[in-house]
Structure 1
Amino acid sequence: MYPKNRLDALTDGIFAVAMTLLVLDLHIPEETAVGADEASLLRALAALSPKLLPYLLSFYVLGVSWLSLIKARSRGETVGEPYAKWSLFYLLFVTLVPFSTVLMGRFTSHATATVLYAANIGAIALIAFVLMSLLPDPVRDAHWLDRRVSLLLLLASCLLTMALSFVVPGQALWAFALNVGGGLLVRLYRWLAPAG
């Protein structure tokens, strides 16, 4: 058995570092800064636009993933070996997000970059779903259902992004917009599901 609070501390640190590293690829080239006029600065900022969507998307996915982790509560203070090992595997993919984001930002119109990026995010969603099933004595409240639906929707949007990357690689990331409807799906499920 492993103390859950130690695993949570490691998770917090890795998420903080990964979210901070995301911004490192958003920089104005040094040659632009030397003697730059207003127009060249605006051109340099516009040149960052292909990198901005992957950055914002990655920050959002990591932020929401972290928030979901801290809301998924367990009545136990320890976790078993399977949960601990899957957590490390989960954190491995979290640490890869800055790399896959840089790759996506630099090669936006390449199917390979889009597939690797979506596969990275999809692995995080899939492993988070596994972790939920391994969490000892979880509190199965409204958040529990919301998280499960959101993870499945994120996984579906990753698969759709991968498929679209071979058809419209420069636009495939917009499939992640499906995740905005996650809360609506949960409310619809609660409305349609029988009480009890």
Structure 2
Amino acid sequence: MEKNRLEAFSDGVLAIIITIMVLELRVPHDPSLRALAPLLPIFLSYVLSFLYLGIYWNNHHHLLKACRRVNGRILWANLHLLFWLSLFPFVTAWMGESLFASAPATLYGVVLLMAAVAYYILQSLIISEHGKESALAAVFGRDLKGKLSPVLYAAGIALSFLLPLLADAIYVAVALMWLIPDRRIERLIATREIADG
């Protein structure tokens, strides 16, 4: 099955999610810079979520670019991932408006964890479709960041009950860890493009 519609649909959904998120940034009625101070927590939660959505979009793009074909299970796994990503505007707004309180930080961590699990499922199904001995399977190898992230999210969730700001620091650290792109997929894509002529 062709992957073009899956890519286009996913890109559209992510664009809508980001648009919804930015609409939560309300313009103050006071023209002074002081009026921006209460918006700082909302803006910081927006920046973190925008960063996460950018990371997911980037990795999703590379994953699908390296993928040759999809099947029905991959389509459902992709929808599963998009479901969790679609919750970002809600948890982002709640965390920012509550000044990073415990319950919102917990729920934010749960959404991060479930999105990571959903991405792992999608990645595993795509690798399975292409074969365990495929170049795509070899590229992902041990996937240390992919395995470490859920552990850190779980730690953040546990800490959010007592120290929500420390939990938030863990969520920021995981995002920063993912900012360094994985060049293995880019090399695989470049190799394929050269081979395809």
Residue 103 of structure 2 aligns with an amino acid whose one-letter code is T
RMSD: 2.6
Residue 134 of structure 1 aligns with an amino acid whose one-letter code is L
What's 1:128 paired with?
119
Residue 122 of structure 2 aligns with an amino acid whose one-letter code is L
Counterpart contact for 1:153–1:178, Cα < 8 Å: no
For each residue in 1:28-53, what CA deviation from the matched residue of structure 2 results, as whole angstroms up to 9, or x when unmatched?
333x2xxx4xxxx2221111111122
Counterpart contact for 2:160–2:167, Cα < 8 Å: yes
For each residue in 1:52-73, what CA deviation from the matched residue of structure 2 results, as whole angstroms up to 9, or x when unmatched?
2211111111101110011114
Structure 1 residues 177 and 131, CA, compared in 2 at 3 Å: closer, same or farther? same
> How far, CA to CA, are the matches of 2:48 and 2:71 in structure 1?
32
For each residue in 1:9-39, what CA deviation from the matched residue of structure 2 results, as whole angstroms up to 9, or x when unmatched?
1100001111122211222333x2xxx4xxx
Q: TM-score scaled by structure 2?
A: 0.77
Counterpart contact for 1:75–1:139, Cα < 8 Å: no
Which of 140, 154, 178 is residue 173 of structure 2 equivalent to? 178
> How far, CA to CA, are the matches of 1:183 and 1:22 in structure 2?
20
Structure 2 stretches lacking a partner, 5+ long: 184-197
Q: TM-score scaled by structure 1?
A: 0.78
> How far, CA to CA, are the matches of 1:42 and 1:75 in structure 2?
48
Aligned residue pairs total 175
Displacement of 1:105 = 0.7
> How far, CA to CA, are the matches of 1:27 and 1:107 in structure 2?
15
Structure 1 residues 129 and 15, CA, compared in 2 at 3 Å: closer, same or farther? same
Give structure 1 regions of 4+ aligned residues with deviation exceeding 4 angstroms: none
